Structure 1
Amino acid sequence: MPCVEMLPLGHHDVDEMVAIEQGVFPYPWTRGNFVDSIDSGYSAWGCRVAGELVGYFVLMIAVDEAHLLNIGVLGKRQRMGFGTRLLRCAMSTARQAGASGLLLEVRPSNESALALYRQFGFRQIGLRRDYYPLADGREDALVLRCELGRIRA
């Protein structure tokens, strides 16, 4: 079995992050979004398998609350447990930074992501109308939150 590592990411990883992002999201973050996040001091971590970046997350921590801004897994590596590893790492990173809760937005149509988040105890706390772009309009975002003291998965 190849070596699987969770590592902090920086500017030298942005091209790989962008490549994954463009391959899995219809309206991906830009290179500038990733660079700005790293420049702002947000926590960026990745999962590497035998050196290949297979997934990443970007996490913003503000006082005692964390916000998962982005998480993505390489298309050919989805449904292999990497999303779970990344989410666990994001929750641990947030908790170590003193956050008591973790927020995120997700498309209601992203059933696989919703199932993963619910497995970890995330609950809907709000709705952002017309948050995500679509080819023929906009899609709402579900705002989910998890208490970091009560991690289930």
Structure 2
Amino acid sequence: MHRREDSYLGAPGLELTIRPLEPGDLSEILNIELQGYSHPWSEGIFLDCFKPDYRLWGVCQNGSLAGYVVVSYVLDEVHLLNLCVHPGFRGRGAGRLLLRHLLAEAARECMNQVILEVRLSNNVASKLYRNEGFEEIGRRPRYYPAASGWEDARVMALLLQP
């Protein structure tokens, strides 16, 4: 399956760009993370991701961070660890643009597949991943912390190379 490049324009008049993230972006990243998740990553977790086997990209509008994605590279596989979009940019194409960018970069770097976990209750994200070609390959019981205990994860994968 061939992946589309970063051609998704989002809502009319929404000019978004993608750039690599740096540790100096951490305050903006944490701001979005805190608004996006009930159990957000800590600053230390993000700092641990600024290493050679990780890739961090941000989607920006007029220089301001609107969302980010964090992936790790292991052998020929990409693990999508975190994709989060600021609430003000949700439903406007920012998440899709980030996802398509990471898929294009992974294919460019000759990776074989992308794997991710998503909460069973996160229907919006699951739909996005399915629409971009991901398929469910399993479940991880009690994977995510939740308000009333734990929530299962849907494991999804997309093969990049034939």
For the criterion TM > 0.5, the same-fold answer is yes
Q: Percent identity?
A: 38
In the alignment, which residue of structure 1 is the partner of 2:145?
133
Which of 93, 98, 117 is the matching residue for 1:105?
117
Q: Which runs of 4+ in 1 moved over 6 A?
A: none
Aligned 8 A contact 1:2 1:50 in 2: no
Whether 1:15 and 2:32 are equivalent positions in the alignment is: no
| TM alignment of 1:20-39, pairs within 5 A | 20-39=32-51
**SS across alignment from 1:38:** coil
One-letter amino acid matched to 2:159: E
Whether 1:71 and 2:88 are equivalent positions in the alignment is: no
Shift of 1:2: 6.1
| TM alignment of 1:45-124, pairs within 5 A | 45-124=57-136
Shift of 1:25: 0.6
Q: State the alpha-carbon separation in 1 of the partners of residues 53 and 77 from structure 2.
A: 15
One-letter amino acid matched to 1:46: G
Structure 2 gaps, min length 5 = 1-12
Normalising by structure 2, we get a TM-score of 0.88
Q: State the alpha-carbon separation in 2 of the partners of residues 40 and 132 from structure 1.
A: 26
- Asked which structure has the greater RCO (Cα within 8 Å, sep 6+), the reply is 2
Aligned 8 A contact 2:16 2:94 in 1: no
- Number of paired residues? 150
**SS across alignment from 2:106:** helix
